[in-house]
Structure 1
Amino acid sequence: MRLSIRNEWLSFIAAGCAAAGKPVWGSIQSVADSGSNDTSRNIIGGEPAFNGEFPHHVAVFLNSEYKSGGIILDERHVLLTAYSFYSKRKGQESAEDYTVVAGMWRTGKLDTGSQVRGVVDFITHPKWNIESFAAPNMAVLRVDSDFTFNRYVQPATLVKTRDEERRLRKIGDCAMVGFGCTNYEEKTFPKRLRKIEELTLPNYQTCNAFVEKFGGMSTNQMCSYNPPKSLCLLDEGGALVCRKPNTGDQVVISVASFSIDPPREFGLTYYSRVYRFRKWINRVVVRLEERA
């Protein structure tokens, strides 16, 4: 479904927060849900991003309701979470139920640089399991017509190797981004895309210690620890990016998957590490093109 009518935009935004699913894995909850009464339901403790600051970021809608973030891979493909294609109503949804908006900065209206696309196909990771937060929470979708690249819409640069990820993490100039709900109870969103900068990225042992009693995390995952700052409701699928020291160029090192509730108290967000899935992502892009 196309989002072509400007005066309908606010109804799309308001509906998304109310319709968020609520998968719960122990006391761990997907970033698509949180059960606490904290009224700050967006990127918690963050600040507004600049227009065009994260041109790879897209907003994904399910049946006109905001569902998640996503990351532009190329003219036709978007990287996001497998959970983005799940709802309690139908389980796994159909491609035509989704819409992607690139170049979106303000949530109250379509900006001049916004590009709306339908979805024709998607593939989720075969090992993803809604019952396990350690399962690969990754997916790729194909849009119905090419994105036009400009200052507001650009493909992401993905981290290629473990060594590159380590170098970028060591530098420490990393940020996460999303459009998550501002207030769950009142069904409101932030007015602009939000970000958290200067993230603390602990090692595997530290991240795993918080979730070990629930079965532990996978080595395909990483976390950020920044209380009282965290991703939250409907922020899944957004990128964790680190900037190169000489150029400032952004490199996506992971994709937001879930947070620990309540986010403000724990400040913990878990991600899927991109370099671990790079070969799978490349294979899926080829498959989607073959199926087109």
Structure 2
Amino acid sequence: MFIKCILLLSAISFLSAGRLPQPEERIIGGKNIEIEDAPWQVSLQFLGKHRCGGSIYSKDIIITAAHCRFAAGGVELGAEYFQVRVGSSLKDRDGSLINVKAIKSHEEYNNPKFANDVAVMRLSDFLAFSSKVQPIPLAKKNPLPGTLAMASGWGATKLISPDIDLIIQKHRDHLRSILIPIVPNCREFLEATDDNICVYSPGQSTCSSDSGGPLVVDQQLVGVASFASRLCHSSSAFAGIPSFRNWILNATKYI
């Protein structure tokens, strides 16, 4: 058991600290916002450190990306490793920390790569709603191309790439957001499926550790941050909530 724990922690350390940014995570070119501007936003914490974003759906359900609960080598991480911080624009303090009781990721996540990248989490305690903690309804249809959508998170705000093999990420502790238009398709990405919603604006993008965070139009959740270009300099792709709405509603009944 001891050796198993050491191997798991080693894999986790590589995934969360030492790895290069993957095409799933990315807020570049945004601005600081207060949690009251996005009270549905949560920080998904893994072993006490921010790992991904998420959105409040109900008093005890969080929606995030499926890939956020996997470590290097495809190791599936249990609920006992996770907490969520709610009600704070800072990822490492204030608000409330609540344990995750159970996780259900989409049964066909990663088939093909990055497909079905959505998961729901049940919290161990009910949230107390306030101006800083609020649920967000699920969108029933995809927004039209050109619609401005808001993405938010605590991801990298700058990447420095001296060469193709070395990327240095600069993160901030304060929640940030961008307003970015929906594009008609996701043709930039070979990994994209019909379930993805993509956004693009030069100099603006989600980035490392924004994964699982919300894409919002008209105060409705339309997407979950899934993947983007390697250097956070181009389009970003989200798991489209309208495509997964029925799955989410069903999953919350059995988690």
Gaps of 5+ in 2: 1-12, 160-166
Q: CA deviation at 1:223?
A: 0.5
Q: Counting strand residues as a fraction of each chain, which structure ranks higher?
A: 2
The residue identity in structure 2 corresponding to 1:157 is: P
Does 2:159 align with 1:190? no
**Match for residue 30 of structure 1?**
24
Identity of aligned residues (%): 24
**SS of residue in 2 equivalent to 1:175:** strand
Whole-angstrom CA distance in 1 between matches of 2:213 and 2:96: 18
1:256 aligns with: 225
Q: Whole-Å Cα distance in 2 between the matches of residues 56 and 159 of structure 1?
A: 14
Describe how 1:111-190 pairs up with structure 2 within 5 A.
114-129=95-110, 132-133=113-114, 135-160=115-140, 162=141, 165-166=142-143, 169=144, 172-182=147-157, 189-190=171-172
- Report how far residue 253 of structure 1 moved: 0.8
Write the letter of the residue equivalent to 1:272: A
Relative distance call for 1:90 and 1:255 in structure 2 (3 A) is closer
Amino acid in the other structure paired with 1:154: Q
Query: Aligned partner of 1:175: which letter?
Result: M
Specify whether residues 30 and 130 from structure 1 end up closer, same or farther in structure 2 by C-alpha distance, changes over 3 A only.
farther
TM-score normalised to structure 2 length: 0.84
Question: Residues 117 and 108 (structure 1 numbering): CA distance in 2 closer, same or farther, change over 3 Å?
Answer: closer
State the TM-score, normalizing by the size of structure 1: 0.74
Q: Is the 8 A contact 2:148 2:181 kept in 1?
A: no
Aligned residue number for residue 35 of structure 1:
none
Which residue does 1:279 correspond to in 2? Answer: 246
1:187 CA displacement: 6.7
Over the aligned positions, Cα root-mean-square deviation in angstroms equals 2.4
Q: Is the 8 A contact 1:99 1:117 kept in 2?
A: yes
The residue matched to 1:52 in structure 2 has which SS? helix
Is it true that 1:219 corresponds to 2:194 in the alignment?
yes
* Aligned positions of 1:29-108 closer than 5 A: 29-31=23-25, 43-88=27-72, 91-107=75-91
- Quick one: which of 164, 182, 201 aligns to 1:201? 182
Contact preservation (8 Å) 1:22, 1:30: no
Q: 1:109 to 1:147 in 2, by over 3 A?
A: same
More helix by share: 1
Unaligned runs of 5+ in 1: 1-14, 32-41, 244-249
Cα offset, 1:23, TM superposition:
7.9
